Amino acid sequence: MDSHIKVSVIIPTYNGGNKFKRCLDMIYRQKTEYSFEVICIDSGSKDNTLQICKNYPVRLYQIQKEDFNHGLTRNQGVKMARGDFVTFLTQDAIPLNDHWLAPMIEDLESDETVAGVYSRQIPREDADIFVKYNMSKSPLCSEKKMIKCVKNKEEYALLDPYKKFTLATYDNVSGIIRKSIWQKYPFPKTDFGEDLEWGKRVIEAGYKIVYEPRSIVIHFHNRCLFYWFRRMYIHYSLCYRLFKLKFVSSLTDVRKSSRKRAKEYWKLMDRHNFGIYKTFCLKLYSSFLSLAQIGGEYMGYKSGFLLNKYKWYKKIDKFLKRGI
């Protein structure tokens, strides 16, 4: 292994617990010809996260909880990083095997125009049936590699919003960037979606983004209904702001789309032998889940309008975006 540190792995932490320990275990099992360092930026953990850090050769940097920002905190990590390549990982994203890091490095090494590479994500074994179903349809779970770039500005300008969104998608749940390009395009100050905003900037600047399915992390797990509403709200408010992307733009759309999604969930239930009572409960739950997801999409699309028209809505918007 090369003694020069080629790669820095940055992990923002807050009450990471056992998942974080498993994350570190798998990082230090990585097989790569390059030396790497791990930097943890903790924002006021109250559990055993700091003690876990002390049990590994990580560089620990502590900040106040109120000082955490998805974009600026990661920028701070990059400034501390000694590697030419900087990998980002969330504390609950666990590399699947000892070849999580190497494929991403290979993509950067093989093409200097690649600005960033991100991993495939798969759900945890204990994830519920709805999480697994939604992930099976997500591009983040695809087994097909994607190399994304823009041929020219004129062609890019003619693309529809969804295509622009797809091109710009880069994910800091598990991803790596070239530090030299970050110096030109640091992450923005934002409470959510710093990776998507960064991806938009580098794609429009002519660089490439690679989705690398050989690099896999275990990430998705169960969430409550209100989380899904908030998650969809903040995601689609960002997508509309950056790309004018919208799927549901009226209450009629909400009704039709949530009903359609609920029927998809019901068909999913019918393919499993859960028994009458459990199937009934799951179908009832899935009706509320589909409404929470589609309702969050709609409110995210409407958020810009509401923020501009009503001063009181800022408090609601801040509450919905807190902690995501």
Q: Which of 51, 34, 36, 44 is nearest to 13 (CA)?
A: 44
CATH T-level fold of 2-218: Spore Coat Polysaccharide Biosynthesis Protein SpsA; Chain A (3.90.550)
Note the pLDDT tens digit of each residue in 19-53. Answer: 999 999 999 999 998 899 999 999 999 999 999 99
Asked whether residue 323 carries a pLDDT value surpassing 70, the answer given is yes
The domain ranges of the chain are 2-218, 225-321
Q: What angle do CA 12, 17, 19 make, to 5 degrees?
A: 80
Note the pLDDT tens digit of each residue in 172-221. Answer: 999 999 999 999 999 999 989 999 999 999 999 999 999 999 999 999 88
- What pLDDT score was predicted for residue 21? 95
Helix, strand and coil percent figures for the chain, each rounded to 5: 50, 20, 30
Looking at the whole model, is its pTM more than 0.85?
yes
DSSP state, 308? H
Mean pLDDT of 296-315: 96
- The region that residue 80 occupies, defined by phi over 0 for left and psi between -120 and 50 for alpha, beta otherwise, is alpha
CA distance 322 to 306: 18
